[in-house]
Structure 1
Amino acid sequence: MSDGIRVAALDDIPEGEGIAIDKSVTGTADDIALLREGQDVWALDDTCTHEDASLADGWVEDGFVECPLHSSRFCLKDGAVQGLPATRDACPHRVEIRGGDVYLFPNEAP
């Protein structure tokens, strides 16, 4: 089992916002958005499934991220789409916080 990839410090991610981790770091097909709510961090593929917009640029609130382009909403826990115009779920990735550092496990389910 992998130890994950250290991708950020918790304090690098503003509360209620996100940052994108480049696919060259993660080895995934898409960049990955790290999204923070309180002391929790969630990871989803960064590109909205409706149109080419970064979920890391969206708004995080009440367990969801809202796409900044057309306001589709995705569940932080499992990527399930919760609001149109998107109709496809976003791919989630496992995250662990250890000692204030955020570790990402690309392509592993949370």
Structure 2
Amino acid sequence: MSDGIRVADLNDIPEGAGITVNRAVTGTDDDIALLRDEDGSVWALNNTCTHETASLADGWVEKGWVECPLHSSRFCLRTGVVECLPATRDTVAHRVVVRGDDVYLFPGVPPGEEPR
């Protein structure tokens, strides 16, 4: 797993939006939302909002945050920390590396940490 799992082509993720990677591919308990901020950076969070069962990949991405499309809770792309109600629990952030146009996911590895 030290090389990560190739999960997308960079061009598949529009800036300001997200796509979903199925848990069968990632081996995680939840699907993963790959989210591309307006600066072009790519981030990964557990896909299901911690408030209700809405997809964060269907949310709005800007300025380092994703807003849930159901009730507008906001989560930090870097850490998964929730910023506002109605969600009160953080979500899980995962490490992403972009190599050329290939997007690699490191499930369970926090952003900024090296995989083991």
Query: Which TM-score applies when normalising by structure 1?
Result: 0.98
The superposition leaves residues 55-95 of structure 1 with CA deviations (integer Å, 9 ceiling, x where unpaired) of: 00000011000000000000000000001000000100000
Indicate the residue corresponding to 1:16 in structure 2: 16
Task: Tell me how large the CA RMSD over aligned residues is.
Answer: 0.7
Q: Letter of the aligned partner of 1:16 in structure 2?
A: G
Q: Letter of the aligned partner of 1:24 in structure 2?
A: A
SS at the partner of 1:56? helix
Structure 2: give runs of 5+ residues left out of the alignment. Answer: 112-116
Tell me by how many angstroms 1:100 deviates: 1.2
Tell me by how many angstroms 1:39 deviates: 1.9
Identity of aligned residues (%): 71
CA distance in 1, matches of 2:49, 2:40: 24
The superposition leaves residues 1-60 of structure 1 with CA deviations (integer Å, 9 ceiling, x where unpaired) of: 610000001110011000000000000000000000122100000000000000000000
Structure 1: give runs of 5+ residues left out of the alignment. Answer: none
Indicate the residue corresponding to 2:31 in structure 1: 31
CA distance in 1, matches of 2:7, 2:44: 11
Query: Which TM-score applies when normalising by structure 2?
Result: 0.93
